Chain A
Amino acid sequence: MIENLKFQHSFNYAYIDEYTKKEIRRKTLKAVCIPGYQVPYSSPEMPISRGWGTGGLHVTLSLVGPDDVLKIIDQGSDASVNACNLRNFVKEMSNCALTFDTAEATLIQTRHRVPEEILTEKQILVLQVPQPEVLRGVERHEAKTRIMHGEADYAKIWVTLYEAYVRTGGLRSGAGHPMMVNGRYVATPSPIPSWDVPNLSMARCLYLFGAGREKRIHCVPPFTRVEPLEFEDIRFKVEEFAGVRCSVSGQDKAFMDQIYADDLSSSYVVNDSNFLDKLRKGPRPPQRLFTNPE
């Protein structure tokens, strides 16, 4: 028969046991020391699905303390169901404070967006990463991509960029533009829009990238050079949103969501939910804007 004991399992603070947290922190420190390098880590199973933010959770839970103020966003929004779910979990397991205010948070976990508002040295941004291997599209074997990184052999990804230019007339479209970190490792910024990539460079905050399913952590430390891959004559560009204004705040110069109505007409809304709230209430929060080269 079952003893009741078996079902009365209590969890360690912040869910993950201390040995594993220590291991994750050690691997995170290694990632900080070697910007852009993917550090393998244990990545134990979590009670949420692989591919739904387990890597971000590992990093967040290994760092969170009762004094932390946590914000979790998904696709720029605090209200997304998965963000709610993860937020409840971390709160329940760590008893940290919660916020929607970007400026107030000490620890922000995000999926596929960097907040518009400038982050400070008191803040850590944890990005969820589905595929940490920036070279996976050009080399399917992990054993080979590790060697390519070791030898800084990035020829294939440059060729890919060139091919995209030949085929489409642009360097590349889509999220997750590859970046050169600190002049050494090419890494993925995670599938954030190009809009966000320049904000990773020489920032005051710490960017940690957790890929749970693939069991890798990489990092962009504060004040580290991040260069989106580009050619001398064909330059990296961010999304333009040319002539577009937010239908709620009337503002421009932010990453926009395009909302389609029943008659298929569309309007735009600022994507970052907290940034939008602030635009509606008062002065525009500080923001770093990238100007596309001519």
Chain B
Amino acid sequence: MGYVAVKGGEDAIGNANKLVDYFRWKGRTKPIELDQARTQMRLAVDRAMGEGSLYAPELAALALLQVEGDTFEAAFHLRAYRATLERRYTSEVIDTREMFVQRRISSTFRDIPGGQILGPTRDYSFRLLNPALLNASLGSIEKFIADLKDEIDPKKLHEMTTYKKVIDIFLKEGLMSRKPREGEDRRVFDVTREAIKFPVPRSAALQMLARADTGALMCMAYSTMRGFGMSHGTVGELRVGDVLVKVVDKRGRTRIIGKIKVTEAEMVGGSGRGQTADSGRAAKRSPAPRYSIGYGLCFGQNETKGICMGMVESALRTPNPDNPANNQEFVLYHTEVIEGYGFTNHLKLPHYVTFQAGMEGARRNARRNAEQGKQVAVSAGVEENND
């Protein structure tokens, strides 16, 4: 009778859960400790936190372990947990100028105030598998850290400092403006408390992009520079580091409640004026700012996401029906990771009633057409099946 007619569905679910555990443990290897996952799978944890929209490294590590490393499921577990949490405060706006910077680069200028800081990145390493990693031990890790410390001359360390932003250069020269764009909806919206309506306020678009699937955002961003939009964005500044999260308590005092690591990308693009064919000339003559920022911000170190978010944000502010990435509805609905993951996977659910309805309709039409001797194409119900 096939899987659709499963009786004792509960037994089946119970057995499926047991089998999942069996496949996890059947290799009889040592369980991965939570701290190992949190520290040694750092970037997977960061990605899960970003897409899961919950900054909680330990819980993200737990989620990753629980789901055997599936990034969709890990993000999903965090989202589901997040939805049950009470909201006690709204944090102050995070100031990334106060960031304790670990990495900071700009591709718009050779030198930037404060200097380029390469920081922890795999960008300039060869992608060669490294079997030496298999020989790592607690001893070798200690030695590595001790050696690294020895290389640092404490006398040469300068004071801890924060860095000015690259966009300050643009602002100073009047090439960029802090003013909102004309007609832009700047209300602060909360996508977790309200369903979005189009056109969405910029805040809602930014929130949705910050929670979006990294791969989906990359697809959109790549399309804007490859052929469906010709906007090779430039990295005005990409910074990764820790920022403080502050709330104002009931007595009006600002309290620091913790720090989070974020990736921030400020992608320099056109100002949105002069991007359409008919206004191009007018824009050249106008004294208005020539550049604008496509803004990307996400939890943890996830530079692909930060940069792609910036590019897509920039594209969304200049709507163009010809390009998927310049279409708010297309981008925001279809990069939403939990919804896309759930709905594509729901195809595994039985659909036999829906399908039967389509078959019966098609048969009825075929019968009638045969009776009437008509030559009409018989389409199965599938194309009109709106599930």
| A241 interface residue (CB < 8 Å to B) | yes
| Shortest beta-carbon distance from A193 to chain B in Å | 4
The answer to whether B358 touches A175 (Cβ under 8 A) is yes
Contact A131 B386 (CB under 8 A): yes
Q: Does B82 contact A (CB under 8 A)?
A: yes
Measured CB to CB, the nearest residue on chain A to B346 is A51
Please determine whether A173 and B7 come into contact, CB atoms closer than 8 angstroms: no
Inter-chain contact B83/A142, CB cutoff 8 Å:
no
A90-108 CB contacts (< 8 Å) to partner B: none
State whether B338 touches A75 (Cβ < 8 A).
no
Interface 0/1 of B329-368, CB less than 8 Å to A: 1000100001101111110011111101111111011011
Interface pair A84/B195, CB less than 8 Å apart: no
Total contacts A-B at CB 8 Å: 213
Whether A42 pairs with B194 at a CB distance below 8 angstroms is yes
- Among B80, B192, B345, point to the contact of A42 (Cβ < 8 A): B192
In which size bucket is the chain A interface? 35 or more
Say whether B387 contacts A112, CB under 8 Å: yes
CB pair A173–B358 under 8 Å, yes or no, is: yes
B-contact 0/1 string along A68-80, CB 8 Å cutoff: 0000001111011
Q: Is the CB of A75 within 8 A of B4?
A: yes
**A82 / chain B contacts, CB cutoff of 8 Å:** 349-350
Is the CB–CB distance between B80 and A173 below 8 Å? no
Asked whether A44 is an interface residue with its Cβ less than 8 Å from the other chain, the reply is: yes
Given A51-B343, A239-B360, A239-B361, check contact A84 B198 (CB 8 Å): no
Given known A41-B195, A168-B379, contact A173–B384 (CB-CB < 8 A): yes
Contact check, B342 vs A51: say whether CB atoms are below 8 A apart: yes
Choose among A43, A75, A195 the residue that contacts B350 (Cβ–Cβ < 8 A): A75
Is there a chain B Cβ closer than 8 Å to A47's Cβ?
Answer: yes
- 0/1 string, A47-58, CB within 8 A of B gives 1: 101111010000
Kindly provide the distance from the CB of A136 to the nearest chain B CB, expressed in whole angstroms.
7
B378 contacts the other chain (CB 8 A): yes
The chain A residue sitting closest to B200, CB to CB, is A143
- A138: min CB distance to chain B, Å: 11
Tell me how far the C-beta of A6 lies from the nearest C-beta in chain B, rounded to whole angstroms. Answer: 7
Q: Which of A9, A42, A257 is the one whose CB lies under 8 Å from B352? A: A257
- Asked if A218 is at the interface (CB within 8 A of a chain B CB), the reply is no
User: Closest chain B residue to A261 by CB distance?
Assistant: B1
A176 within 8 Å of B by Cβ?
yes
Does B280 interact with chain A (Cβ within 8 Å)?
no
Contact A175 B387 (CB under 8 A): yes
Cβ–Cβ contact A175 & B9, under 8 A: no
Q: What chain B residues lie within 8 Å of A81 (beta carbons)?
A: 6, 9, 12-13
A76 to B356, CA, bound (A): 12
Residue picked from B197, B199, B384, most chain A C-beta under 10 Å: B384
In this assembly, does B47 line the interface, its C-beta being within 8 Å of a C-beta of chain A? Answer: no
A259–B356 alpha-carbon span in the complex (Å): 10
Query: Do A52 and B346 have beta carbons less than 8 Å apart?
Result: yes
Q: Which residues of B contact A256 (CB under 8 A)?
A: 356
B364/A240 in contact, CB under 8 A: yes
Q: Is the CB of A50 within 8 A of B80?
A: no
Q: With A50-B338, A82-B349 in contact, is A258–B356 under 8 Å at CB?
A: yes
Q: Say whether B382 faces chain A, with CB atoms less than 8 Å apart.
A: yes
- Inside 8 A of B62's CB, which chain A residues have their CB? 7
Asked if B354 and A175 make an inter-chain contact with CB atoms under 8 angstroms apart, the answer reads yes
Within the complex, what minimum Cβ distance (angstroms) separates A59 from chain B? Answer: 15
Q: B243 in the interface, Cβ–Cβ < 8 Å?
A: no
Complex CA gap A15/B353 in Å reads 30
Given contacts A45-B79, A76-B353, A239-B360, contact A169 B384 (CB under 8 A): no
Report yes or no: A11 in contact with B84, Cβ–Cβ below 8 A: yes
Q: Is the CB of A175 within 8 A of B381?
A: yes
Contact indicator A2/B368 (Cβ below 8 Å)? no
CB distance from A113 to the nearest CB of B (A): 6
Contacts of B365 in A (CB 8 A): 168-170, 173
Taking CB atoms, residues of chain A closer than 8 Å to B360 are 173, 193, 239-241
Instruction: Please state if A169 and B368 are interface contacts (CB–CB under 8 Å).
Output: yes
**CB-contacts of A223-265 with B (<8 A):** 237, 239-242, 255-259
Given that A2-B58, A88-B10 are contacting pairs, would A213 and B195 also be in contact in the complex, using a CB cutoff of 8 Å?
A: no
- Asked whether A191 lies within 8 Å of B192 as measured between CB atoms, the reply is no
CA distance A259 to B4 in the complex (A): 10
Which of A18-76 touch B at CB < 8 Å? 40-47, 49-52, 54, 74-76
Q: Are A193 and B357 in contact (CB-based, < 8 A)? A: yes
CA separation between A141 and B330, bound complex, in Å?
Answer: 9
A-B complex: 5 closest residue pairs judged by Cβ atoms: A173-B361, A50-B342, A174-B381, A51-B346, A40-B195
Binding site for A on B (CB under 8 A): 1, 4-10, 12-13, 34, 58-59, 62, 76, 79-84, 86, 192-195, 197-199, 329, 333, 338-339, 341-346, 349-354, 356-362, 364-365, 367-369, 372, 374, 376-382, 384-387
Sample 26 A-B pairs with CB under 8 A, ordered by A number: A6-B59, A9-B84, A11-B84, A45-B79, A45-B82, A79-B5, A79-B7, A81-B13, A83-B9, A84-B9, A130-B346, A130-B387, A140-B329, A142-B333, A164-B384, A168-B376, A169-B374, A169-B378, A172-B384, A173-B357, A173-B362, A173-B380, A173-B384, A195-B357, A215-B195, A256-B356
